[in-house]
Structure 1
Amino acid sequence: MKKLYLILLLFVTLLPCLPGIAQPATRTLRLQEVIALAQEQSATARQAETSRENSYWQWRSFKSDYKPQLSLTGTLPDFSRTIMPVTQPDGTTDFKPVSINNSELGLSLNQVVSPTGGRVFVTSLMQRFDDFDRDQTRYNGNPAIVGIEQPLFAYNELSWAKKIEPLRYQESQKVYLEEREKIAVNATRLYFDLLLAQTNQRIASQNQSSNDTLYQIAQEKYKLGRLSKNDLLQLRLAVLNAELAMAQAALDQQTAALALKTYIGMKETDELELLAPEGIPATTVLAEVALAEARKNRKESINFSRRLLEAEAQMAKAQGDNGLNASLFATFGLTNRGASFTDIYTSPENQQRARIGFSMPILDWGRQRSIYKVAELNKQLVQYTVDQEEANFEQAVLTQVNQYNTLKARIATTAEADAIAQERYEIARNTFLIGRISITDLNIALAEKDQARRAHIASLSEFWTAHYMLRQLTLFDFEQGKIIE
């Protein structure tokens, strides 16, 4: 019995500590820390990183196409045991068993010639034939063959790709940087959504506590006949509204916290406590500087050049593929045959081959001209589209600069308005307690206090969102004065 009493006493002693133990830890974060987490571990960041790696390996694959390619091909073995028809000298057919094997091996070195669109190659071939029924072995081979294959008057895909693909790779690198800045923009929006929700929760808690205190004081005044029934009911209604506002603010805070955690890839169950940014960049952004940096750093400039080159390439293809086409194929090498492997390399004979093939439309009912005209008009369309997109892009940059500078100037105004509204409410509250203003005036001061605090948080949100959007549009860090890389 005594032991049970001690256990119960220990349980009662530790009971107040249990809620504290179960409470999740609170993690305090600033805006830059949230952005860093999002750019490092969010799903969007991993997607951007994977896309960049994909572009890198595509670029590596493209560059390898222009380097010498060494390949080994062969058939080892090609064995056959069957009965085959054999024509006799008198014209009759006899069926005889055949047991043979054919093996071949080839080593080739190929190199494309991008200025001409052709290729040169060096090849060494070896063939071996085995007749097992007659116990015979024969060799045939080409110790060395040098050749060239060259299209004439045709579209040179190699040359055009060498102009276009480097731009495509540079564009992919810019896309990665822009995606990182886009992540910063999205993280900033979610950060301020949660910060505003936490601010609303604090406002609701303060208002509920203040209204409850005022209501208790008002009840005493009402009993003494110094307050009307109408004012008392207004204060009671304010208490109820504050309780409803607290419940809604708590729900909004949980929703905003979940959205932010999900986006930045935060798996911890810690509660987040966000700190409002205290200072803002002192730099004033000049429109001409921002526009120059955007033209220099963004993917759009590269994208416009690439698309125009692709349109020109399609015109060249339409012209090259629909006129006179010819191809040259020529080889020179050594060849030999023999009963042993070494016979192939003993006094080999010369081998030459040359071939020129061509095709030329004679009657196509305007097909060639139509294809070329379509390609020409597509190029004009691309040019007009690029011109319009370039104008839209420049307009977006200039608009963002104006918005950035305007929102920056507003922060000082909203901060002062917030401080004044907080002070005015305290004065109104104290004045109400001594009965010199009505409950209506107090409620007006309360509403203006809350509105001023929310307006200041909103102005901070708009400014920092504009700040990171300007970075995204220019790929330039105006605080540090350097290009984002």
Structure 2
Amino acid sequence: MTMKKVFVLLAIFCSTQAFSQKPINRLTYSEVIELAREQSPQAILAKHRFRAAYWEYRTFIAEFRPAVTLRGTVPQFTRSLVRYQNPDGTYQYIEENSNTTSLGLSITQNIGLTGGQVFINSNLERTDILGSNSSTSYLSSPVSIGFSQPLFALNQLKWSKKIEPLKYEEAKRTFIQSLETISIEATRLFFDLAMAQQNLETAKLNYSNTDTLYKIAQGRYNIGTIAENELLQMELSFLNAGNALSEAEVDLLLKKNRLKSYLGLNDDYDLEIILPDSIPNFDVDFDRVLTLSKENNPQILNFQRQLIEADMNVAQAKAERGLNANLFASFGLTQRASDLHNAYVDPLDQQSVRIGLTIPILDWGLGKGKVKMAQSNREVIRTTIEQSVTDFEQDVFLKVMQFNRQDDQVAIAKKADLVSQNRYEVTKQRFLIGKIDVLTLNVAQTERDQAKQKFISTLSSYWQSYYQIRRLTLFDLEKDAPITTDFELLLK
């Protein structure tokens, strides 16, 4: 053995010894799933994604509620030359030093039905002329009521009322689905570690067995009851068992670190997991799973939202193509005076009406092209969604078929594991009394190891399939109840 290999083995030994000296945290499968759903970095990210969606929805709701705004300018100082008209009609430029202070209060309300806006304003402005001819004046607008209304433009508020509630419901379902995705990944890492634990136990057992059998083979070779090639075969098995033991120790450390990292656990504790001793025993019906998936899966809501957004883009392109007009009207009261009190005495009325028009005369087909592109994009989205729905249904069918086979697969793998262990013990005893050769013993050992790995792998497949069904339906078919969560708690 080279010095490099010696150092590697020493490093492995020291690291495993140091790791094993830590207090052991033994976790069951259900505890690992619970930790992953509550404190894993992925769960925290899912929570913050939902919070962002919630505040986006709250912003949408706020657009339909009155907004109160206070505006002010304190102060606005101006020093400039202004043109002044003399009584004889001539003009002269005089220097003006002024300070203006203003305060205004406005209440606005969007109108979802029309896309317009109504408002109520109240303003007060004070102007101080500085210098030798100093003076103070007030300009008040106690109340001004009006509205602004686009006449032919896209009603964005109307479309938002269709899209935003769908987006928020999609976000809630996506959060629940993300927890099931986390459970699937935690399941994979759990059984990867379970496989690594079992491989290490098997490697230790094989190393011990091959050591014993190699010593027995040496004794038999010395008395001439076995050939040299059988002795060499046993020596090779012993060396391979030692190598497999080193690899299993390193692999176990790697799988532990991966699971601990995913669960957000610190390094103060070693980790050991306990395999579940049972599985739920139930089958699922394809038609029911498909119905629940179409009712609950956020992907279906996403398809609906895409179609609505495509319709909105077509409507927007059509609205921008032709005549655009904006109507603005207001009625209010105003007064000016040299003191604050008189600025609110006998106010005068003031009105304003304005209609702005935009009429495209020659655009070389630009507007028509935008409409055609929006319509084509809508058809592309509709066709893509139809294909996606078909793929979705096929995916549901495959996952249901896979799940309904898993319980039988687990039972078969468990039975095969027991049979292979018994066969190995029988084969080992027959080898010890010289009835079979070393090759037959190695085959029995390999089949025993593979059966144990197959059992753990089948358990992993079962639980991943279990959570895939939950992820599709957002429904607990075992308990016959929808999967829910306290969304209010997520916002705290």
The whole-number CA distance in structure 1 between the counterparts of 2:77 and 2:115 is 40
AA in 2 matched with 1:41:
Q
**Corresponding residue for residue 205 of structure 2:** 206
1:143–1:344: 8 Å Cα contact kept in structure 2? no
Q: Is the 8 A contact 1:328 1:357 kept in 2?
A: yes
For structure 1, which runs of at least 5 residues remain unmatched after alignment?
1-18
Superposed displacement of residue 315, structure 1: 1.2
Aligned AA (1:113):
I
Match of 1:351 in 2: 350
Which position in structure 2 is the counterpart of 1:107? 105
Task: Give the partner amino acid of 1:476.
Answer: F
Is residue 129 from structure 1 mapped to residue 91 from structure 2 by the alignment?
A: no
Match of 2:59 among 52, 58, 61: 61
Counterpart of 2:316 in structure 1 is: 317
1:457 equivalenced with 2:469 (yes/no) = no
Deviates more, 1:345-354 or 1:119-128: 345-354
**Partners of 2:90 and 2:315 in 1: CA distance:** 60
Q: Which residue of 2 aligns with 1:80?
A: 78
What is the one-letter code of the residue matched to 1:137? T
Q: Tell me how far apart the structure 2 counterparts of residues 463 and 22 of structure 1 sit (CA, whole Å).
A: 31
SS of residue in 1 equivalent to 2:289: helix
Task: Report what 2:329 is aligned to.
Answer: 330
Aligned to 1:169: 168
Task: Output the CA distance in 1 between the equivalents of 2:108 and 2:23.
Answer: 65
Number of residue pairs matched? 467
> What amino acid does structure 2 have at the position aligned with 1:198?
Q
2:340 is matched with which residue?
Answer: 341
* Partner in structure 2 of residue 435 of structure 1: 434
- The equivalences for 1:50-449 within 5 A come to 50-81=48-79, 96-133=94-131, 134-449=133-448
What residue in structure 2 maps to residue 12 of structure 1?
A: none
Once the two structures are overlaid, the 10-residue window that deviates more, 103-112 or 128-137, is: 128-137
CA shift, 1:365, in A, is 3.1
Aligned-partner Cα distance in 2 for 1:20–1:76: 69
For the residues of structure 1 that align with 2:315 and 2:81, how far apart are their CA atoms?
A: 56
The letter of the residue matching 1:455 is K
What secondary structure, in the 3-state scheme, does the structure 1 residue paired with 2:280 have? coil
1:224 CA displacement: 3.3
Q: TM-score of the superposition, structure 2-length normalised? A: 0.90
SS in 1 for 2:64: coil
Where does residue 472 of structure 1 map in the other structure?
471
Q: Distance in 2 between matches of 1:481 and 1:49?
A: 26
Deviates more, 1:116-125 or 1:43-52: 43-52
Q: Distance in 1 between matches of 2:109 and 2:325?
A: 20
Q: Which amino acid aligns with 1:120?
A: V
- Assess if the C-alpha contact under 8 Å between 2:19 and 2:270 holds in 1: no
Q: Partner of 1:175: helix, strand, or coil?
A: helix
Gaps of 5+ in 2: 1-16, 485-492
CA RMSD between the two structures? 2.0
Whole-angstrom distance in 2 between the partners of 1:95 and 1:402: 91
Structure 1 residues 97-133: Cα deviation after superposition (integer angstroms, max 9, x where no partner): 5332112211110001010010100111111111233
| Counterpart-to-counterpart distance in 2, 1:411 and 1:364 | 69
Greater CA drift, 225-234 or 253-262: 225-234
Say which SS state the counterpart of residue 437 (structure 1) adopts.
coil
Tell me how far apart the structure 2 counterparts of residues 478 and 272 of structure 1 sit (CA, whole Å): 32
Cα separation, partners in 2 of 1:214 and 1:64, compared to 1, 3 Å: same
What CA distance in whole angstroms lies between the structure 2 residues aligned with 1:268 and 1:132? Answer: 73
Quick check: 1:143–1:335 contact (8 Å CA) kept in 2? yes
Paired letter, 1:99: N
Structure 2 SS opposite 1:466: helix
Deviations 1:118-151 (A, max 9, x none): 0100111111111233232111111111101111
For the 8 Å contact 2:105–2:121, the answer to whether it is kept is yes
Deviation by residue 1:295-328 (Cα, 9 ceiling, x = unmatched): 1111012111111110111111111121122221
Rate the CA distance shift 1:149–1:296 in 2: closer, same or farther, 3 A.
same
Deviations 1:354-376 (A, max 9, x none): 12222222333333322212111
Partner of 1:9: none
Point out the more displaced range, 335-344 or 205-214. Answer: 335-344
Tell me, in whole angstroms, the C-alpha distance in 2 between the residues paired with 1:284 and 1:112: 53
Distance 2:257 2:317 in 1: 55
Change (3 A) 1:117 1:273: same
Q: Which amino acid aligns with 1:150?
A: Q
SS in 2 for 1:76: strand
Q: TM-score, normalised by structure 1?
A: 0.92
For 2:367 and 2:266, the matched residues in 1 are separated by: 62
Identity %: 40
Residues 187-225 of structure 1 deviation map (CA, whole Å, 9 limit, x = unaligned):
111111111111111111101111111222233333333
Code of the aligned partner of 1:112: N
Cα 1:413/1:345, change in 2 over 3 Å? same
SS in 2 for 1:77: strand
1:94 Cα offset (Å): 5.9
Judge which range, 405-414 or 363-372, deviates more.
363-372
How far, CA to CA, are the matches of 1:209 and 1:317 in structure 2?
77
Q: Which moved more, 1:342-351 or 1:154-163?
A: 342-351
> How far does residue 408 in structure 1 lie from its aligned partner after superposition?
2.1
How much has 1:21 moved relative to structure 2?
12
Q: Distance in 1 between matches of 2:81 and 2:350?
A: 35
Quote the offset at 1:65 in angstroms.
Answer: 1.2
Q: CA deviation at 1:341?
A: 1.3
8 Å contact kept, 1:112–1:120: yes
- On the 8 A contact 2:20/2:270 being kept in 1, the answer is no
DSSP 3-state at the match of 2:325: strand
What is aligned with 2:21? 23
Question: Where does residue 36 of structure 1 map in the other structure?
Answer: 34
Q: Within 2, Cα distance between the matches of 1:371 and 1:222?
A: 90
